[in-house]
Structure 1
Amino acid sequence: MKGWLVVTVAAVLVFLFFGAGTTYSLLTPDYVFADGELPGEAAILTGSLALAAFGAHRLHAPDRRLRADVPVFGAWLPVRDGLPGGGDLEAHTARLRRTARRATAIAVAWAVLFAGGLAAVIAADRVAAELLATGVRVGGTVVSVYEPARGAPTIRVRFEAPGVSRVEEIARDSGQEYHEGDPVTVVYDPADPAHVRTTVEANENQALVGFGVMLLVSGFLVLPVAASAALGWWRRGRAVAATGWRIATVTVGPDVRHAQEIEARYRDGSGIVLRCAPSLHRPGGPARRRAWIGGWGRQMVVLFPYGPDKSGPQYVPVCATGPRSQPISPVR
């Protein structure tokens, strides 16, 4: 299963990377596709999306098999005993759905940030392209070259604007080498002579480009995780709504390489071992506590009436490591 998870995440990241690049190319007016570039990118996008969908299908195969084998959820939960468990369990189920909605809102926010990063990079490129098309071209001379340890390398260029000689700094990213005294063609905005570039160096707004790249990289890394978390909460919410909650005494194990386990004993004496799913919702340190459990298979939730660091209820997403054991002796 871990192998298919890696494949699915990798396919999603490839889709996001090439999707952002293709969108940028299509929205940039002066971008010219090389022969076969656009069909190649379309093939990569289609293939990565298909691989991600197939990986997700394979990841959910165990859930489908388990549910088909045990349609009444008896492998994970005992029958309802009718005994009071404490608390408003219907309200807890509703709160679980609100958790799913919050996770979805977070995923949407990251999608917006990712799109905003792409828009910022495209906007900076369009401003530079518009200046190249409409600006005034004059001869200029490189007066100094800077190669900072951090940040973009730059050149300072002297050129003549109407009635004044100006020196402006231009960021360079073309890879071309410059030396003091080299001639360049400067393009400046007559309404704002400080807005300049050369015919080679776009001199894009570095703050805008840096901000856009930061959002793109952050979204590229976080968006798949946020979307996966939101989908997981929705699936768990539906599973708990179908099964209801069962009270249990749980023993929280130590957090070993983020694979924390919870051993649960139900009122009928049966038990089950649950593994915490990757999430910010953690059960805290080792302890023996009373809790409720709902869901089935890989879509289960442990509800603690009080979290380790807050007074309200805490929902911890878990996966069953196997079916529950048969009753040994009732828990008193």
Structure 2
Amino acid sequence: MREAGVEDVRRLRLRTVCVRGMDDLTRPGSYSVPEPVATVAVRRLRRRGRAMALIGLLLFAGFVVGANLLVDRADALLATGEPTPGVVVGVHPGLRGAAGTIDVRFTVAGVERTRSMNLDDSSPALEAGDPITVFYDRDDPERIAAPGVSNAPFLPNLLTVVAFVLSATLLPPGVIGLVRWGRRVRAVRLHGWRRGQAETDGNRIHRIRFHRNGPGLGPVDGGSTDSRDHAMTVVTTSPVAHEIPPEFRTGEVLVGGRGRHLALMFTRGPVLAAAWEVHQTAHVQPPEHLLTEVSE
């Protein structure tokens, strides 16, 4: 049995999570996980949540700024541009339900021009042969707009859409991870880690037993270390995309924190999971003088 480093913890492999949507739980392994490694693993998940939330927030801000700039660009051209009559000569639907483009023919200073205009979801339904009023830039007649057709440039419009999609993908799980693991970092700092034996009672329910005077047990329930058996029932939070297989959730486990802010490090993996306590029982040994009196 070799001692695990923080790089061995399955839950920390961000590339696997992003590509597969789950942890690399292909085959359990038996490790000895030191408490400092478990603490670093919890802190790393908090840092991951903070980074995802920050990047998602910046991307959302970029989406808002970009969308407003594109709208202002179209409004400015409609307000200051030179109007001229035009006609729709072609309609090209977009891929997978996207708005698509139209081809517009118009005349500027006796020169007939044909330009494509990008549509969006708010654009009117147009067909070939429909008349349309075109507003063009006097200094650049190729730059045009039309009422209801913003004609946003393709690349800035694409970048704005990508920023929105990525922000919606990163921001919610980032905030959840930051809150979830931030609370557990504080709980581990206050209460430390205990070692026990885990038994799975379902997909997310576990029974954990702490043997009296076991290694790393430490004070239980905020009291002193005494000769007693202690057990708790915990429920793990939902993993990335799939349940953690039972073979990873049995055997020795490190339990950090207290109450609703528990961190579980299953050493068969090792796998890190967040959990909360739902039931707790303690069996206290009777004092020796009572046992003597009963025997007499």
- TM-score of the aligned structures, taking structure 2 as reference length: 0.67
Higher strand share: 2
Give the Å deviation of 1:266.
Answer: 0.5
Partner of 2:208: 264
Greater Rg, structure 1 or structure 2?
2
Q: Which secondary structure state, in structure 1, belongs to the residue aligned with residue 97 of structure 2?
A: coil
Distance 1:90 1:128, change over 3 A: same
The aligned runs of 1:177-216 (5 Å cut-off) are 177-178=125-126, 180-206=128-154, 208-216=156-164
CA deviations 1:258-285 (Å, max 9, x no partner) are xx12221101232111111134398831
Distance 1:121 1:243, change over 3 A: same
Count of residue pairs brought into register by the alignment: 234
1:316 aligns with 2:273: yes
Distance 1:87 1:203, change over 3 A: closer
Give the aligned CA root-mean-square deviation in angstroms.
3.0
Give the Å deviation of 1:104.
Answer: 1.0
CA deviations 1:49-78 (Å, max 9, x no partner) are xxxxxxxxxxxxxxxxxxxxxxxxxxxxxx
Distance in 1, matches of 2:124 and 2:232, equals 65
Distance in 2, matches of 1:87 and 1:211, equals 44
Equivalent pair of 1:248/1:291 in contact (CA under 8 Å):
yes
Equivalent pair of 1:136/1:190 in contact (CA under 8 Å):
yes
| Pick aligned residue for 1:139 from 85, 107, 110 | 85
Partner of 2:235: 275
Distance 1:281 1:249, change over 3 A: farther
Give the Å deviation of 1:99.
Answer: 2.3
Distance in 2, matches of 1:305 and 1:95, equals 13
Distance in 2, matches of 1:239 and 1:184, equals 65
Equivalent pair of 1:252/1:285 in contact (CA under 8 Å):
no
1:121 aligns with 2:121: no
Distance 1:92 1:188, change over 3 A: same
Q: Which secondary structure state, in structure 2, belongs to the residue aligned with residue 194 of structure 1?
A: coil
Distance in 2, matches of 1:205 and 1:117, equals 15
Distance in 1, matches of 2:262 and 2:41, equals 15
Structure 1: gaps (5+ residues):
1-85, 308-312
Distance in 2, matches of 1:292 and 1:179, equals 67
Equivalent pair of 1:281/1:315 in contact (CA under 8 Å):
no
Distance in 2, matches of 1:262 and 1:112, equals 39
Distance in 2, matches of 1:219 and 1:327, equals 52
Give the Å deviation of 1:172.
Answer: 4.3
Distance in 1, matches of 2:67 and 2:109, equals 32
Distance 1:261 1:281, change over 3 A: farther
Give the Å deviation of 1:228.
Answer: 1.9
Structure 2: gaps (5+ residues):
1-31, 213-228, 286-296
Higher helix share: 1
1:251 aligns with 2:251: no
Partner of 1:326: 283
Indicate the percent of aligned positions where both proteins have the same amino acid. Answer: 27
1:238 aligns with 2:195: no
CA deviations 1:52-110 (Å, max 9, x no partner) are xxxxxxxxxxxxxxxxxxxxxxxxxxxxxxxxxx6542343244223212221111111
Distance 1:305 1:200, change over 3 A: closer
Give the Å deviation of 1:157.
Answer: 1.7
The aligned runs of 1:1-332 (5 Å cut-off) are 88-146=34-92, 150-152=97-99, 154-162=101-109, 164-172=111-119, 174=122, 176-178=124-126, 180-206=128-154, 208-217=156-165, 219-220=167-168, 223-255=171-203, 260-268=204-212, 269-280=229-240, 284-287=244-247, 288-307=250-269, 313-326=270-283
Distance in 2, matches of 1:253 and 1:212, equals 47
